[in-house]
Every structure is written in C-alpha cells, then in structure tokens.
C-alpha cells in the first residue's frame, strides 16, 4: 500500500525536528564546557555551570578600577656606587706585616687597613733625621758667628780691633744665617714628605724628632668612610708601589647603582631624574625605587642595548653588588583600567583569560589583554568591564572542571 504525505505537514515536521535539535545543542553548550576558541579579547571562549557546593568554594569578586601607568620591562644588575667607592693602593713597596680590617667591616676615614715594612719609609725618616742634624749644626754655627760679630763690634767701639776683622765677622754671620735658612727649609721639606707622602701623623713626626728612632713600619689608612668590599693581600706578601690591582676596596653601601640595559627601542622613554620600579630575584615580593642619574652615550654593538645608571637607597644593606634585577619604564600617562587578582588569570601560552559570572552560578571564559602587575593585582587593558564579577580564588579549578 502506498502512503502519500502532505507536503505542508512534512515541512512542519522538519521544522519541529530542527528546533528540537537546536535546543539540544544549546543545552549541551551550557553544561558541557568550552565553545570554539577565538582570538579576539572580550569574546567568550568557554562556559560552565557550577553547583551550589562548588559555588561555596569559589571567590567571586567585582573588577575594580585603578589607575595604572603603561610600562615596559628591562633587565640590569646591582653595582657599587662608583661615586662613593675607592681603590686603596700602597704608595711604597714593602712586605705586609699585619692586616687590620676584614672584608665586610665598616671603616671611617683614617682608620688603619694594613701595615707594611718598607725601606722607602726608612729612607724618608733617615732624611728627616739628617735634616734635623744639619739644622742644629747650622743653628750652632749661626750662634757662633753672631757672638763673634757682637764681640768684634764691641772691640771696634773701643778702637781695639781693625775694621777688616769686623767686616770678616759680618760676612761669616751672613753666611751662617743663609745656611740656617737653607737647613730650616730642608727640615720643613722632610717633615712634609713624612706627613703627606709617607702618611705619618703629627705625633709620630714629633716622636721621631725627639727620639731619633726609626720605625720601618707604615700603616695604610682608609681614604673614605664606607665598608671594606674587597681585599687582595695577605700577611707576609710583598707588594709593589706600581701594582695596578687594588689592595683594598672601600665603598659606601648606603646607596647602590642599578646598571640597566635598555633596548634601543625603549631608550626614548628614559630620562634623567625619572623614577623606576626595581625588583631583584633575591626579594621577589619587594619593590625598590631607583632614580635615573645618567644615560649611556653609546649602544652595545652585540646586544643593541644602552646602559642606564640609576641610584637606589640601600640603608638596610640588603642589596648586594652583581644581583640580577628587573625594572619597569613608564611609557605613557597613567590610565584607569579594571584590575583583578593574579589568581583570576588563566594563561595558555601567550594568551590570558578570566572566568566572568554571566548569570548566577554560570561563568563564561573570556579572553583578556593584560597590562602591569602591582601588589598581586593585574591590570586588564581589554576584554573586561569595570564591575563585572570574576572568579578569583578557584579560577584554576573551574578551568580544570571544563577540561
């Protein structure tokens, strides 16, 4: 038997089947998880419905607005402040007899660092003693000629001596006076050499002048206030005055340098006096503030980076030289954008997304574009509106539930 179907009824039946299929697909999309991925920020790339028990384990918070400054990151390293550091050398050759300071010890200007036995010091003291003896001899000769002249003048007044003898006495006295002046100059020069070049203090020079006992030891003192950061000598070591390598290094650690290596493409954003936010790997949760003091005049041929020097306060002494550092450079004026906790961000390769509450207990995964990060909060520059509620704690669990 042949059944003939009414074309109108057949069309209505097909439309009813199509509507039921579309409803079924929509229901699967609501409960089964992610939809097809897209590349545009702000477009939903997944949806999930959670139960009441699951909802109690999530932290859902609104995206608040905060003013951020767009920044770019670069790398660098902590270094000693070369404007407050100095290398200590010995002005004479000799053998080290004693070390008086260790690496890490604080010193004041004039504090002794080490002691050496130097023949050059002996020679300088010998010259000083010889100058003293020559001065005493010249002074005695001057006094003798002065007394002779006075006696001859007295005899001349009584017409008991010849004028020729008086003239001779005057000449002898003038020569003795000249020799005394020369001897006084030699003593002053030898004393200044001991004080300035050799480094003897006033008390030591007075002792030498009084006792005439030579001390072959000389103490090398700290030239500035600071901390001993390096030492290259040991007891008994012979050192030369023309050695190029520093024997001690002293640096003021209260202010350190950041030597930042800025790409050529970002150097236009850097200016002297600008403040930088700096982080070091040793203290990942602490942010330091540096101020740019100078910008390099040339770019490295290999890395195409320019050295930018900044100063960082280090009153707590926690920053150490050669520490690896990262910093941020402001590239524009501050702008107000939504921010969310770091725990809200789901990262997959170069993309980031957040779970946004579209309806009660229904969340959609949305692609977003991120900006800077401050104190555990991340700036969202695109894909999220202020006030929209996102999953904070538990976002990763929601993402795993969909997968």
- Tens digits of per-residue pLDDT, 50-59? 888 888 888 8
Please identify, in words, the CATH class of the domain defined by 72-82+252-333. Answer: mainly beta
- Tens digits of per-residue pLDDT, 374-383? 778 888 888 8
How would CATH label the architecture of 91-118+216-251? Beta Barrel (2.40)
Count the Cβ atoms, other than its own, within 10 Å of residue 66.
Answer: 14
Q: Output b/e per residue, 32-45; b: 16+ Cβ within 10 A.
A: ebbeeeeeebeeeb
- Tens digits of per-residue pLDDT, 236-259? 999 998 888 899 999 999 999 999
The pTM of the full predicted model, rounded to 2 decimals, is 0.58
Mean local confidence (pLDDT), 145-166: 87
Beta-strand ranges (E) seen in 3-92 are: 44-49, 60-62, 64-79, 85-88
Q: Which CATH number fits domain 31-68+335-402: 2.60.120.10, 2.40.420.20, 3.40.50.720, 3.40.190.80?
A: 2.40.420.20
Q: d(Cα 267, Cα 66) in Å, to the nearest integer? A: 27
């Amino acid at each position: 038997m042949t059944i003939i179907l009414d074309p109108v009824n057949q069309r209505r039946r097909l439309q009813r089947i199509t509507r039921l299929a579309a409803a079924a697909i929509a229901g699967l999309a609501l409960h089964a998880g992610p939809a097809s991925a897209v590349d545009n920020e702000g477009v939903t790339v997944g949806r999930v419905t959670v139960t009441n028990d699951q909802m109690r384990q999530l932290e859902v918070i609104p995206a608040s607005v905060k003013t951020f400054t767009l920044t770019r990151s670069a790398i660098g390293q902590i270094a000693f402040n070369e404007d407050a550091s100095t290398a200590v050398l010995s002005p004479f050759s000799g053998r080290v007899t004693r070390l008086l300071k260790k690496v890490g010890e604080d010193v004041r200007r004039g504090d002794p660092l080490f002691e050496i036995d130097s023949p050059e010091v002996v020679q300088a003291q010998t010259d000083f003693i010889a100058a003293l003896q020559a001065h005493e001899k010249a002074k005695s000769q001057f006094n003798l000629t002065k007394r002779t002249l006075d006696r001859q003048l007295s005899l001349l007044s009584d017409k008991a001596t010849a004028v020729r003898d008086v003239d001779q006495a005057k000449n002898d006295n003038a020569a003795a006076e000249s020799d005394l002046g020369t001897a006084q100059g030699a003593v002053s020069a030898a004393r200044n050499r001991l004080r300035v070049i050799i480094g003897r203090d006033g008390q030591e020079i007075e002792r030498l002048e009084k006792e005439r006992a030579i001390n072959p030891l000389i103490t090398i003192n700290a030239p500035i206030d600071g901390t001993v950061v390096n030492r290259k000598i040991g007891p008994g070591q012979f050192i030369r005055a023309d050695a190029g390598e520093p024997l001690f290094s002293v640096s003021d650690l209260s202010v350190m340098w950041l030597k930042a290596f800025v790409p050529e493409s970002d150097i236009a954003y850097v200016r002297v006096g600008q403040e930088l936010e700096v982080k070091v790997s040793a203290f990942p949760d602490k942010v330091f503030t540096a101020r740019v003091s100078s910008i390099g005049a040339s770019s490295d041929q290999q890395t195409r980076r320019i050295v930018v020097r900044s100063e960082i306060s280090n009153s707590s002494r926690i920053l150490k030289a050669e520490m690896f550092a990262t910093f941020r450079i402001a590239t524009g004026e501050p702008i107000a954008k939504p921010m969310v906790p770091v725990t809200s961000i789901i990262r997959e390769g170069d993309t980031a997304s957040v779970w946004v509450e579209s309806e009660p207990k229904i969340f959609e995964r949305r692609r977003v574009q991120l900006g800077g990060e401050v104190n555990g909060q991340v700036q969202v520059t695109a894909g999220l509106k202020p006030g929209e509620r996102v999953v904070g704690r538990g976002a990763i669990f929601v993402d795993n539930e969909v997968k």
